[in-house]
Amino acid sequence: MTLKIDTSELEDLMVLSLSGRIEAGHLGELARIVELRESPRDVTLDLQQLRLADRASVKFLANCEAKGIKLKNCPTYIREWMDREKTEELINS
């Protein structure tokens, strides 16, 4: 299973629909696509079809959200994992 990225534009908003499995090796390309926009707030990541993620990808998604990128249809396990990563960072800092 690999990652598929479908891009669509809705007015001034770029929606990236991710499906399949996201791994650390995909993050460079995904970051490049996101950086094409002037503002992170102009980007939405639709995660409805995302099935698997590794730790680096979960951290990437959490960082995206912290920058203002909207995570739409985020699977519960990814949301909970991001929350645990944030809590762990606070404890370790």
**pLDDT tens per residue across span 9-66:** 988 899 999 999 999 999 999 999 998 888 878 999 999 999 999 999 999 999 999 9
Write out the two tokens for 89.
Answer: 């960072």
Q: For residues 7 and 15, is the Cβ–Cβ distance under 8 A?
A: yes
CA-CA distance, 83 to 12, in Å (whole number)?
Answer: 29
**pLDDT score, position 20:** 96
Domain boundaries, position 75: 3-92
CA-CA distance, 87 to 32, in Å (whole number)?
Answer: 28
Number of separate domains in the chain: 1
**pLDDT score, position 19:** 97
SS (H, E, C) the chain: CCEEEEEEEECCEEEEEEEEEECHHHHHHHHHHHCCCCCHHHEEEEEEEEEEECHHHHHHHHHHHHCCCEEECCCHHHHHHHHHHHHHHHHHC
Q: What is the CATH number of the domain that holds 29?
A: 3.30.750.24
**pLDDT score, position 46:** 98
